[in-house]
Amino acid sequence: MFDAPTSPHPTARVTTLDNGVRVVTDLMAGLHTASVGVWVDAGTRHETPDQNGAAHLLEHLVFKGAGGRTAQALAEDAESRGIWLNAATSYERTGFHARCIGEDVAFALGLCADLVLAPHLDANDLELERGVVMQEIGEATDDPADRAGVLHQRACFPDQALGLSILGEPDSLAGLNLDDIIAFRERTYASRAMIVGGAGLVDHDALVDFAQTRFGSLPARDPAAAEAARPVAASLVEARDSEQLNLILSIAGLPSGHPSMLALRLMTEILGGGMASRLFQDLRERRGLVYSVEAYAEMFRDTGRLGIAAGCSASQAGQVATSVREHLNAMAETGPTEAELARAKRVFGASMLMAAESPGARAEAAVSQTLVFGAPLTMEGVRQRLAAATVDDVRAIAKQALMEQLPAASAVGPKAGLEAAGAFATV
Amino acid sequence: MFDAPTSPHPTARVTTLDNGVRVVTDLMAGLHTASVGVWVDAGTRHETPDQNGAAHLLEHLVFKGAGGRTAQALAEDAESRGIWLNAATSYERTGFHARCIGEDVAFALGLCADLVLAPHLDANDLELERGVVMQEIGEATDDPADRAGVLHQRACFPDQALGLSILGEPDSLAGLNLDDIIAFRERTYASRAMIVGGAGLVDHDALVDFAQTRFGSLPARDPAAAEAARPVAASLVEARDSEQLNLILSIAGLPSGHPSMLALRLMTEILGGGMASRLFQDLRERRGLVYSVEAYAEMFRDTGRLGIAAGCSASQAGQVATSVREHLNAMAETGPTEAELARAKRVFGASMLMAAESPGARAEAAVSQTLVFGAPLTMEGVRQRLAAATVDDVRAIAKQALMEQLPAASAVGPKAGLEAAGAFATV
């Protein structure tokens, strides 16, 4: 086991066990609680279309029994100490995490370790949990914003794991058996894919000891491979007899850890981050075209999207899509003003300071940054790069995104508004 | 101006200006950021049916211009310091709040004060914002869980302000003119209804000075009266061609500040608070009947509801409603076990400790408790009452709720599941 050569953050520490399991902590002075967990570099991207939903179903299934505890005992043991135990599955990661008071860190991490290392994986439990996830799919399908998101991902990455739905499709879910789930787990839950971590009132050495005891005997193994993303220009829409239209428009963005990541984040802030952003001011405040509009940068290991999500009435969808296109072009041509850039930097800096006071946000950041950069970023380092970003950097990144284009769109809502999505994606 | 006679919390302070405006702060050692705002004891409960939506529309409208700033200048001035400015309207309160770094507390509070004291209230802005809120109503109507909530409130409190929708109805919103909004504001934005407050890196004396300067010259005036709640037994359902059914069932609960409030909260935790709760374990883990199920205690000044919200498939709605009724009866007959009570206490205690480390949660708690009790509760006081709560207390509160009954239900989803709501409400 070796420690990272230089301390990456005044308060953050990373230790790698001999088998590649990493331990990341970020001690927060003055706190009495912590956010801890075990994260695995495994998710929907590691599925095949006929096994779509395996990562998420596995995440659910382990809660039915692990480490000798039934589902009820797991829940009772956690709550008897007031621990909030939860989990989440995304395209590239599955996380099992706990919020707890400082004295219960070891116990909470023990529960997370049981879920990751010692799940019972019982066939009867699988049937019951399959039913629960089927209902979760139903709820997500009923929610028009969720549904637009699923369609958008499929439009960007058709016939690829990255285009699958995280929850799976009713058909693929119905076809998953216990062997599929076990095979998925064995393929993806590898030592070098795992991070044990936490932020708040955590003791790094104690977490390293814990990880050594529970994870130290795992064989050294690399994370599972995922096929490279092949984004395309496309649109997918779904007619629905709803009041509002949910519209998502995107163009090429950047992969996680790209050197221009910060410039892209500043650009999304200026374009559609807050109430002072161009899209909010123009589409909502001046013209009342949308109820909600937001720009975002979504980043995966090898690709990314610069997206705009809007809620509007069907009759105005065409105007919304045209305006979004114009705002993207303007950003690539003339870039932001100095005042806009300064504002975006202040928003980014203040958000970072606020997040730094939340154990949950800080644990997630430490783990994400360790997966992408090998260690948590220092706040001072981010501040320096933030100070150095220029109007030209932001304009350049907008220009690059628009040169790559690959526009994609999705829409869920009244028929009259669906055309706007197709028009955006075929520019 | 006088200070509360005894410090109600080691870190919380309350000062009341001569005209009744209150200043509440909760200093959190070690933090560099704060959550501050101005809250007004005014909301949907103070509306008449034909002016339904006035409180929320006013909250929106003030952001279109206040204190000599346009909407754009308000947003830019906030974001140029990285301040997150936001607002929320509920039945009994409208809050304007800001998250900011410590050095910007005075500036952020100045913006909130402008929104409350010096809005421009322009007729053209009203038209634009009416359109935005119409779209917000559309989004809320499309969301089946939101819609079930609106119907449930109307079922419990028909023909009463407390049964109105916070967003308003398209018809009532269309009928609101600027004079209505101004009249609503003049009637409800009274000095004794206002609280200036914050938590985090805040200086109480500085906030008192600020409040004296900005709010000190307001005439002393009592909060607007709201008609007393008259809850009834009723159900309201809406057929929708969706995948899942959203079901809300409730019986009589307790008003805010009731001496048995803590026993009720413990009961909802035991009944349907977390993964170890009776409803989650029985309905989801053992029987797979629901995707989600949650019990909650909703409290208003003079009434309250003990509710259960569930997402399930239509064919299982009848079983869900019957089981909920059985679990309510069991709680009233035999109460919780000692182990369940101990667990609920730990969950409550740990949640309190976690919330105590979040400036936003702590500011909201300080303001809510000041509105209900006159001052923030001390954590030590809550701990003592928590320790003293017994199995009998919880059983007694369940029994009392079931004696009062007044069952109400709402459901949104496939026709086949709607009957369950009616059956629950007519027991």
pLDDT of residue B10: 66
Single-letter amino acid code for the residue at A269: E
Per-residue tokens: A106 = 């070891």
Question: What is the number of other CB atoms lying within 10 angstroms of the CB of residue B187?
Answer: 15
**B418-427: per-residue pLDDT in tens?**
999 989 998 6
Mean pLDDT, rounded, of chain A: 94
The Cα B291–Cα A165 span in angstroms is 18
pLDDT of residue A2: 41
The HSE-up count of residue B282 (CA atoms within 13 Å, CB side) is 18
Using an 8 Å CB-CB cutoff, list chain A residues near B80. 276, 339, 342-343, 346
What does the pLDDT average to over B271-276?
94
The Cα B354–Cα A129 span in angstroms is 30
Residues 6+ apart with CB under 8 A from B384: none
The Cα A203–Cα A33 span in angstroms is 12
pLDDT of residue B6: 38
pLDDT of residue A4: 40
Per-residue tokens: A89 = 């599955």
Q: What is the 3-state secondary structure (H, E, C) of B218-249?
A: CCCCCCCCCCCCCCCCEEEEEECCCCCEEEEE
Best residue in A27, A167, A244 for a mutation probing chain B (most B CBs within 10 Å): A244
Among A154, A69, A66, CA closest to A118: A66
CATH architecture of B234-425: 2-Layer Sandwich (3.30)
Asked whether A215 and A194 are in contact (CB, 8 A), the reply is yes
Q: Which residue of A has its CA nearest to B73?
A: A276
The Cα A329–Cα B149 span in angstroms is 42
pLDDT of residue B265: 95
Asked whether A251 and A379 are in contact (CB, 8 A), the reply is no
Residues 6+ apart with CB under 8 A from A177: A126
Name residue, tokens 């910060």: A262
Question: Positive or negative CA dihedral for B121, B124, B127, B130?
Answer: negative
Pairing of strands A33-40, A408-413: unpaired
Between A404 and A26, the more confident residue is A26
Of chain A, the percentage scoring pLDDT greater than 90 comes to: 91
Name residue, tokens 């008003």: B255
Of chain B, the percentage scoring pLDDT greater than 70 comes to: 97
CA distances from A256 to A74, A152, A218, A420, B62 (A): 35, 19, 28, 30, 39
Asked whether A268 and A294 are in contact (CB, 8 A), the reply is no
Which segments of A275-407 are extended strands (E)? 290-299, 304-312
The Cα A125–Cα A142 span in angstroms is 26
Per DSSP, the three-state class of A128 is helix
Among B260, B240, B242, CA closest to B252: B260
Asked if the Cβ–Cβ distance from A311 to B139 is below 8 Å, we say yes
Phi-psi region of A68 (alpha: psi -120 to 50; beta: other; left: phi over 0): left
pLDDT of residue A11: 81
pLDDT of residue B426: 85
**B301-322: per-residue pLDDT in tens?**
999 999 999 999 999 999 999 9
Does the predicted TM-score (pTM) go above 0.90? yes
pLDDT category of residue A10 using cuts at 50, 70 and 90: low
The Cα B301–Cα B312 span in angstroms is 32
Mean pLDDT, rounded, of chain B: 94
**A234-280: per-residue pLDDT in tens?**
999 999 999 899 999 999 999 999 989 999 999 999 999 999 999 99
pLDDT of residue A5: 36
The Cα A58–Cα A72 span in angstroms is 18
Asked if the Cβ–Cβ distance from A82 to B349 is below 8 Å, we say yes
Q: Which residue of B has its CA nearest to A289?
A: B132
Task: Indicate if A59 belongs to the active site.
Answer: yes
The Cα B74–Cα A281 span in angstroms is 11
pLDDT surpassing 80 at residue B8 = no
Name residue, tokens 């491979």: A225
Highest mean pLDDT among A206-215, A253-262, B130-139: A206-215
pLDDT of residue B360: 95
The domain defined by A2-215 carries CATH number 3.40.50.720: no
Distance of CA A375 to the CA centre of its chain: 18
Longest dimension (CA), chain A: 62
* Partner residue opposite B346 with nearest CB, options A80, A128, A359: A80
**A111-161: per-residue pLDDT in tens?**
999 999 999 999 999 999 999 999 999 999 999 999 999 999 999 999 999
Asked if the Cβ–Cβ distance from A33 to B357 is below 8 Å, we say yes
Q: Find the catalytic residue in A47, A59, A92, A294.
A: A59
A2-215 and A234-425 share one CATH topology? yes
pLDDT surpassing 60 at residue B82 = yes
Asked whether A89 and A44 are in contact (CB, 8 A), the reply is yes
Kindly list the domain boundaries of chain B, sorted by start residue: 2-215, 234-425
Per-residue tokens: A284 = 């909502």
User: Where do the H-state alpha helices sit in B277-390?
Assistant: 278-279, 317-334, 338-355, 359-373, 379-388
* Partner residue opposite B275 with nearest CB, options A75, A288, A357: A75
Asked whether A52 and B52 are in contact (CB, 8 A), the reply is no
What does the pLDDT average to over A155-178?
97
pLDDT category of residue A8 using cuts at 50, 70 and 90: very low
Using an 8 Å CB-CB cutoff, list chain B residues near A85. 275
Among B93, B259, B72, B191, CA closest to A343: B72
The Cα A415–Cα B401 span in angstroms is 47
What does the pLDDT average to over B262-267?
95
Distance of CA A37 to the CA centre of its chain: 16
Q: Find the catalytic residue in B59, B129, B294, B364.
A: B59
pLDDT surpassing 70 at residue A7 = no
Asked whether A223 and A301 are in contact (CB, 8 A), the reply is no
Using an 8 Å CB-CB cutoff, list chain A residues near B81. 346, 350
pLDDT of residue B1: 42
Q: Which residue of B has its CA nearest to A129?
A: B288
pLDDT surpassing 80 at residue A9 = no
pLDDT category of residue B58 using cuts at 50, 70 and 90: very high
CA distance, residue A230 to nearest chain B CA (Å): 32
Asked whether A242 and A414 are in contact (CB, 8 A), the reply is yes
Per DSSP, what are the bridge partners of residue B309? B248, B294
Please give the helix or strand (H or E) that residue A70 lies within, else none. strand A69-70
The Cα B48–Cα B52 span in angstroms is 6
The Cα A156–Cα A229 span in angstroms is 10
What does the pLDDT average to over A179-188?
97
Asked whether B35 and B22 are in contact (CB, 8 A), the reply is no
**Packing angle of the helix pair B338-355, A71-79 (nearest 10 deg):** 60
pLDDT of residue B301: 94
Cβ burial of B67 (10 Å; 0-12, 13-18, 19+) is middle
pLDDT of residue B398: 87
Asked whether A193 and A40 are in contact (CB, 8 A), the reply is yes
What Rg value do the Cα atoms of chain A yield, rounded? 22
The Cα A274–Cα A278 span in angstroms is 9
**A15-24: per-residue pLDDT in tens?**
999 999 999 9
CA distance, residue B69 to nearest chain A CA (Å): 13
Per-residue tokens: A132 = 């629960």
**Packing angle of the helix pair B71-79, B105-117 (nearest 10 deg):** 160
**B29-39: per-residue pLDDT in tens?**
889 999 999 99
Torsion of CA A79, A74, B275, A365, to 10 degrees: 80
Using an 8 Å CB-CB cutoff, list chain A residues near B131. 288
Per DSSP, the three-state class of A136 is helix
CA distance, residue B313 to nearest chain A CA (Å): 7
What does the pLDDT average to over B77-94?
96
pLDDT of residue B3: 41
pLDDT surpassing 80 at residue A398 = yes
Residues 6+ apart with CB under 8 A from A203: A25, A27, A105
Could you report the predicted ipTM of this complex, rounded to two decimals?
0.88
